[in-house]
Amino acid sequence: MVTTHEFIAPDGVRLAWHEVGEGRPIMLIHGLFSSADTNWIKFGHAKRIAALGQRVIMPDLRAHGESDRPHDAAAYPPDVLADDAEALIAHLGLTDYDLGGYSLGARTVVRMLVRGAAPDRVILSGMGLDGLLDTGHRAAHFRRILTGLGTFERGTPEWMAEAFLKTSGGDPKALLPLLGSFVDTTRVEIAAIDRPVLVVSGAEDDDNGSSAALAELLPHGAYVAVPGNHMSAVVKPELGRAMVEWLGVV
């Protein structure tokens, strides 16, 4: 059974997290406009990983899910999502754990790694090399969406993202300043990540550049393609199965 908890970040923002299972901890961080429920719980990925004998910890990022959604730009300094995740790790007293994320969650994981986080195993999903090297490109894409709601042609990537935002109940006034918190990571920093990393993304997902190129740059990276694109891969069982298969053997 999934349980929900909350704690207060160092700057006073209330943050929620959800967990299921018992055993070795793994923290999974969701993507932009999404939530722990949408990325990890709803489609069974967390349950599959918990069945391995792991305690699956899934925060709702600030401005998302059941966490607070401040509108003040001061609540979104550079790397604030990494700050929050590191604060949750400290709050829970985790020292021996695994770490993974989807899309913005994967970018947050990489920021944590280059800042000194030391999980044993890492999963980066829905993320390519370009999405880490140049965060401004994706930030500009989503800034255009959030400032142009209701203006996009049906079927375009912008229209699809807006539809997802509406489905997830996102708050544009909180999400817009969050985009300014993104921080680029260099090739040198990525190449220095010295731990096993699974890079798993939809075979048709190029939203953040090449996932295969990201895996190639990592010293201990392994790339797995699953069906789908950036929006659809996360709803398919193959994503969770690929994560479980890798966690079961590494």
pLDDT, one tens digit per residue, over 181-240 is: 999 999 999 999 999 999 999 999 999 999 999 999 999 999 999 999 999 999 999 999
Determine what percent of the chain is predicted with pLDDT higher than 70: 100
Would strands 98-102 and 221-226 be described as parallel, antiparallel, or unpaired? unpaired
Calculate mean pLDDT across residues 157-180: 95
Over 90: is that where the pLDDT of 248 sits? Answer: yes
How far is the CA of 40 from the CAs of 103, 164, 194, 214, 229, in angstroms?
13, 16, 26, 22, 17
Calculate mean pLDDT across residues 33-57: 97
Confidence at 127, pLDDT banded by 50, 70, 90: very high
pLDDT at 65: 97
Calculate mean pLDDT across residues 119-136: 98
Calculate mean pLDDT across residues 110-117: 98
**Contact at 8 Å (CB) between 98 and 247?**
yes
C-alpha 194/C-alpha 246 separation (Å) is 17
The pLDDT mean for the chain works out to 97
Nearest-10 crossing angle of helices 157-168, 135-147: 70
Which residues, 6 or more positions from 223, have their beta carbon under 8 angstroms from its beta carbon?
Answer: 199, 200, 211, 212, 214, 215, 216
pLDDT at 166: 93
DSSP state of 74: G
pLDDT at 233: 97
How far is the CA of 237 from the CAs of 72, 128, 208, in angstroms?
38, 21, 22
C-alpha 120/C-alpha 122 separation (Å) is 7
Over 90: is that where the pLDDT of 250 sits? Answer: no
pLDDT, one tens digit per residue, over 7-26 is: 999 999 999 999 999 999 99
Residue 184 tokens read as: 């680029």
Residue 195 tokens read as: 């731990």
| Residue position matching structure tokens 């699809």 | 160
Calculate mean pLDDT across residues 137-160: 95
Determine what percent of the chain is predicted with pLDDT higher than 90: 99
SS3 of residue 139 by DSSP: helix
pLDDT at 89: 98
SS3 of residue 44 by DSSP: coil
How far is the CA of 220 from the CAs of 18, 199, 216, in angstroms?
29, 10, 8
pLDDT at 150: 93
Calculate mean pLDDT across residues 83-109: 98
